[in-house]
Structure 1
């Protein structure tokens, strides 16, 4: 117990951090006021408007977030669709409903609760000065780096705590059936033994010889396949923290002065190693329990002092700390702040290795402690940390300068709208160029650093005014502390390639289509023959498939795996056929079924999955009840062409 808490304090803090922050990633609680404007409305919740401007901003943030998560695998087109925007709107509606519920239920969060929640975030908890006081200035800088003031951040934390109150008790696990969990596990982990005969389009391609007239007819009937998006050659400039830092010089004298003033920051505190024997007490111990535990601890102390060499053996036998007892009570090295105060005070008061003290009372019980190692505090010399200090001072100065420089950047790209020469010279920026840029973000870039990977930047760049006037677009904040402006130098509208340029691709696609049709016909004939017992197809080797396997596992396409698990199992073998779009056809024989048998650990995991699903269902039902109670009007509609 004692050892677990000591070793996993950071883990518990990180868990709390994840609970506090995720809902800010997409919307930001304050966003409901910040993004409201004069545009059309996307929805109303109990009369509270959600504007189209707010929805667009939330959708851009969601696309950027998914690009960051998925990296090069992100398909921006599939992420930024009217259907995806509707899902984003549903998230905004859910968030607004909870805010309305908080307001109507008059829920409150005290300042001290907000403070405690903030201080449990590891990045903030670490902002302590050597004397133990909280570094307010470092806190402000940390929050400013996220693009917020401390007031905005604290308001967000307060709002999140309120929302947690509103959701308190909702969605907690309601059923824990081992029988159902076992059945579900058995079905989900069922393995089915199959044989597959593949009829692939590529094997029939040689039989397809379309005429030039057929190729041209295919081209005309499928014109959308031969379209190229609008393209532009552009210039652009970026103002970010790196650019600001380049203009900041920190002298050796300034670095030395900082080192002298913050000397403790560049040292490592003393660490000590100890072993202990714990006689545990419950949180609300009675006087009798207290007396019995102390008496036992004193008896053990007397035994240890008679033969200190037996400390580890006695700890294994007597200690009630399950984390350290198997190691003979060894707690490893730790700093004074790494242990509860009574324990740390006792350890750091000892004079030499081998000293034994006790019984020491803490909230966990009584400890007998042996000091087993000392690592003295160390001070890094200035030469070793000079570069680190210079970088830190540059960062601090850049944080201070960035707001002013971003204003200058915004003004200068607007005032001299035909060139970036002035802003580049004044702010020491590099004018970048790019050719054949399209409105689709570059999936290989970082949307928080690279304008060509930012949907927000490209949307502004390819606006009608920008295309028509070829002037600098207004400065776009693509991420906190990252501003960019661009200008179209030359523009080529979206167009359909002429047949002369597209005929090779058209022929290739037509051959693929017709070859797939031939493969499907051959597969259907083979399936019919197998069902009638006339002939068997050229089966592949038997393989086992499961619903959890990846696509193409064991050479079996995902569509085949899906079909196999829709076949009845009462009469085997069972035959079916699967069309593989643009690839051909698969004839499948299901020959055997093996159900999964969970061990206790897997059964517990399955119960956890069930409870998560049930929790989500209860939460969704609660949100639906709020929708009915407060009223939701969805005004945003998916454009008709998007459904076609």
Structure 2
């Protein structure tokens, strides 16, 4: 519906980031005053350093959290340079905002902090049945004390409060929003002539001298990256499970101890008559209710067939009374204990004595029994074996990981001893580069493993890497068997490619030259004349470009002065050639439903507030001398939403 926002998604991503202040609360926000004392400095804020160790730890924390939330997400997403750099940017942003909050004495009241502990849905699992915060449960789950968490929350709320003061004051007036909204739907009628490079490629002639000259001027395009042939082994929990042998005696003992889990439990269906008397009711009222229940029991025992009618007339359970007291089938644990004990002690069609519970006094009749169904041992043997193996695998995995680490270190020039000892398969790969290939799975998609392969000791001495944790209970060890340094391809190797690129470049230039000539000629034609070669009139708009014209053509058409139409515009499309556009007239904006218009206004308002916040953050970065000392990865967005 909002093609403009989809079309300019980079802008939208930035706006989203500004509107969603990343929270580092539960997963280890770094204290602003923590200088760090290990590793290279990768960034600094207000004289405080962020070390590579801190950066890597924060990235691991975020990666672990995302893996838990989205187990099916491609692991290479976490290990990309872009993802790692985005983590560093978030750390810098957090420290800049924290520094600003401290310098402006931004505080968070105890009352607001208390509401976080008592109302935040993210902390629900740490509250007991009465809503009280369970300190021990929190410490065990997060490894942090509530006091540490409190300090982090205060810092996080303070930074939100800081930015809230900026974004909250950025609300534009409705008239301005209408102007912006109308600009999105502004339409022009145009006619377009395209000059495509493909139409000129056949006329381009290049000599060998031209090709060699072009090659020498663009050697950076013809670099072959450093590559290595590698072999590696992977130890994972699933492989370890398969090595665990479970004796038949243990399997059968486990079966006997857990029969209920492998089949269906016994179910019972009963009817009851309730004379209500809450546990807090006065003693006299409870005694009166019990006496009435005894009277009804006497009637039931005298005429058992009257149970249903008596329940309809006398039971004070509003749900079951209408059904003659009938309840659904239940298993143990579904009813309050006194009721359950009495029901499971009855035989079919037997009627209990009066049973007292916290709800009052019951007369229970057992109507039916579904016996427990337990499958035979052989039917669930595989499941039992898998469960026991899973329970034992963690300890076995730790032991095998230790063996793996020892063997690859002690016999550093081969993976074979470790593979033989642990029954692992040696896998091979050719042409592995220093950067994981997008979409690569397993070790070759893991940044830490690739870095270990290209470490000096691994490359120069062909030694094994150490055991690298891939996450998800997986360890990998690799070694380089062949290394090819980066080099520039020779002219002869890339001659065909050079020819293709030079011809394309000159064809695009020829298309532009022809287009510019046509533009000049058509501008000088008689007023109102429409030259041959122009396309049919079409409507273009920023918000709905149904004509599929390049965005540069649409923007050029909409920027033409509406007071001077019709007008001619030339548009350089680069490698796509050239376009001559005749802007005929302005068309009325497309009508949209009121709810869509309100959504547009909301999005525009948010975008303007985001722009205010971004400008404020840029000012704070400069004030607190925030710098990132590692290079920005090629192709990575400058802001990545968490």
TM-score by length of 2: 0.63
Q: 3-state SS of the aligned residue for 2:482?
A: strand
The two structures, once aligned, show a CA RMSD in angstroms of 5.4
Determine the structure 2 residue equivalent to 1:283.
none
- Structure 1 distance, partners of 2:32, 2:472, is 19
Determine the structure 1 residue equivalent to 2:235.
239
CA contact (8 A) 1:441 1:455 kept: yes
Please, which of 196, 199, 218 is the counterpart of residue 195 of structure 2?
199
Determine the structure 2 residue equivalent to 1:455.
447
Determine the structure 2 residue equivalent to 1:600.
594
> Would the alpha carbon gap of residues 519 and 537 (structure 1) be closer, same or farther in structure 2, given more than 3 Å must change?
farther
Q: 3-state SS of the aligned residue for 2:516?
A: helix
Aligned runs of 1:61-140 on 2, under 5 Å? 79=82, 85=85, 88-97=87-96, 101=101, 105=107, 113=117, 117=121, 120=124
Q: Give 1:211 shift.
A: 1.0
Matched, 1:518 2:510: yes
Determine the structure 2 residue equivalent to 1:613.
607
CA contact (8 A) 2:25 2:152 kept: no
**Unmatched runs of 5 consecutive residues or more in structure 2:** 1-18, 270-311, 314-327, 337-369, 636-642
Q: 3-state SS of the aligned residue for 2:220?
A: helix
Please, which of 429, 434, 437 is the counterpart of residue 434 of structure 1?
429
> Would the alpha carbon gap of residues 167 and 637 (structure 1) be closer, same or farther in structure 2, given more than 3 Å must change?
closer
Q: Give 1:26 shift.
A: 13
> Would the alpha carbon gap of residues 531 and 176 (structure 1) be closer, same or farther in structure 2, given more than 3 Å must change?
closer
Determine the structure 1 residue equivalent to 2:574.
581
Question: What CA deviation, in whole Å up to 9, does each residue of 1:144-195 have, x standing for no partner?
Answer: xxxx973437779667644443245553755375444443333223344332
Q: Give 1:54 shift.
A: 3.5
- Structure 1 distance, partners of 2:460, 2:523, is 65
Q: Give 1:63 shift.
A: 10
> Would the alpha carbon gap of residues 75 and 593 (structure 1) be closer, same or farther in structure 2, given more than 3 Å must change?
farther
- Structure 1 distance, partners of 2:96, 2:374, is 54
- Structure 2 distance, partners of 1:377, 1:197, is 82
- Structure 2 distance, partners of 1:484, 1:117, is 38
Number of aligned positions between the proteins: 505
Question: What CA deviation, in whole Å up to 9, does each residue of 1:204-254 have, x standing for no partner?
Answer: 111112111111111111111221111111111222333333333556765
Determine the structure 2 residue equivalent to 1:414.
409
Q: Give 1:420 shift.
A: 1.0
Q: 3-state SS of the aligned residue for 1:468?
A: helix
Please, which of 196, 211, 217 is the counterpart of residue 207 of structure 2?
211
Q: Give 1:519 shift.
A: 0.8
Please, which of 491, 504, 524 is the counterpart of residue 499 of structure 1?
491
CA contact (8 A) 1:187 1:596 kept: no
- Structure 2 distance, partners of 1:268, 1:567, is 76
Could you tell which deviates more after superposition, 58-67 or 494-503? 58-67
Q: 3-state SS of the aligned residue for 2:244?
A: coil
Q: 3-state SS of the aligned residue for 1:570?
A: helix
- Structure label with greater radius of gyration: 2
> Would the alpha carbon gap of residues 73 and 198 (structure 1) be closer, same or farther in structure 2, given more than 3 Å must change?
farther
Question: What CA deviation, in whole Å up to 9, does each residue of 1:116-148 have, x standing for no partner?
Answer: 755546xx99x99xxxxxxx9xx99xx9xxxx9
Determine the structure 1 residue equivalent to 2:141.
150
Please, which of 560, 575, 587 is the counterpart of residue 567 of structure 1?
560
Q: 3-state SS of the aligned residue for 1:605?
A: helix
> Would the alpha carbon gap of residues 21 and 398 (structure 1) be closer, same or farther in structure 2, given more than 3 Å must change?
farther
Q: Give 1:612 shift.
A: 3.1
CA contact (8 A) 1:467 1:488 kept: yes
Q: 3-state SS of the aligned residue for 2:560?
A: coil
Determine the structure 2 residue equivalent to 1:49.
49
Question: What CA deviation, in whole Å up to 9, does each residue of 1:425-458 have, x standing for no partner?
Answer: 2333221100111222121224xxx221223322
Matched, 1:538 2:533: yes
> Would the alpha carbon gap of residues 409 and 212 (structure 1) be closer, same or farther in structure 2, given more than 3 Å must change?
same
- Structure 2 distance, partners of 1:509, 1:254, is 70
- Structure 2 distance, partners of 1:259, 1:116, is 42
- Structure 1 distance, partners of 2:81, 2:555, is 23
- Structure 2 distance, partners of 1:453, 1:626, is 37
- Structure 1 distance, partners of 2:26, 2:575, is 38
> Would the alpha carbon gap of residues 379 and 419 (structure 1) be closer, same or farther in structure 2, given more than 3 Å must change?
same
**Unmatched runs of 5 consecutive residues or more in structure 1:** 1-18, 129-135, 273-304, 307-332, 342-375
Determine the structure 1 residue equivalent to 2:420.
425
Determine the structure 1 residue equivalent to 2:471.
479
- Structure 2 distance, partners of 1:380, 1:22, is 51
CA contact (8 A) 2:32 2:98 kept: no
- Structure 2 distance, partners of 1:485, 1:417, is 11
> Would the alpha carbon gap of residues 203 and 596 (structure 1) be closer, same or farther in structure 2, given more than 3 Å must change?
same
- Structure 2 distance, partners of 1:399, 1:34, is 35
Q: Give 1:379 shift.
A: 7.4
TM-score by length of 1: 0.63
Q: Give 1:99 shift.
A: 5.4
